Amino acid sequence: MPVDFDITPSREEISYEALQELFIKCGWGDRGGSFFLKKAFLHSNHALFAITFDRELIGCIRALSDGVYYATIHDLVVDPAWQKRGVGTALLKTMMDYLRHIPTVLVPALPESTGFYQRLGFTRHRFAMARFLSREKQRLFDPPEHV
């Protein structure tokens, strides 16, 4: 299949309203609004966007990193109309290239996406702890008997 999208780190050029629409399309809600999405992406150490050649925003990923020991990956989403065409893989591989010197890279992964991460070299680990302000968010990541 020909590559018909580009990966860009240009955070200033993208539309955060379009980014919010992308999260809504993926079923992740409005993330509190484009103002907060923009703030989160601008404050992340790395952010990447997948853009079609006619400038449609179809995917994103961001990472928080201390630049030495640890990084965490967040908000990897691809427009459902563009899934299974290599966009998510391209976003994650490009991000992992940015993080290639970081010894430990963590990602909170929903059950349905663990296969995707495993295929790209991630392994499951048993020792992550998390504190969630929202019970709804906690339910997403925990088995029901733990909530």
Ligand X SMILES: CC(C)(COP(=O)(O)OP(=O)(O)OC[C@H]1O[C@@H](n2cnc3c(N)ncnc32)[C@H](O)[C@@H]1OP(=O)(O)O)[C@@H](O)C(=O)NCCC(=O)NCCS
Q: Which residue is nearest to ligand X (CB)?
A: 88
Minimum Å distance from CB 56 to ligand X? 14
The residue (of 15 and 113) whose beta carbon lies closer to ligand X is 113
| Total chain residues near ligand X (CB under 6 A) | 18
The residue (of 84 and 131) whose beta carbon lies closer to ligand X is 84
Between helix 16-25 and helix 34-43 the angle, nearest 10°, is 100
Minimum Å distance from CB 100 to ligand X? 19
Minimum Å distance from CB 83 to ligand X? 3
- Terminal alpha carbon distance of the chain: 44
Residue 68: is it exposed, middle or buried by C-beta count within 10 angstroms (0-12/13-18/19+)? Answer: exposed
Considering only residues 48 to 107 of the shown chain, the ones binding ligand X according to CB under 6 A are 76-78, 83-89
Site string (116-145) toward ligand X, x via CB under 6 A: x--x--------------------------
Own/partner pairs for 2-6, CB < 8 Å, 24+ apart? 3/86, 4/52, 4/53, 5/50, 5/51, 5/52, 5/53, 5/58, 5/59, 5/82, 5/87, 5/90, 6/50, 6/51, 6/52, 6/53
Minimum Å distance from CB 28 to ligand X? 7
Residues of this chain that interact with ligand X (CB under 6 A) are 1, 26, 76-78, 83-89, 109-110, 113, 115-116, 119
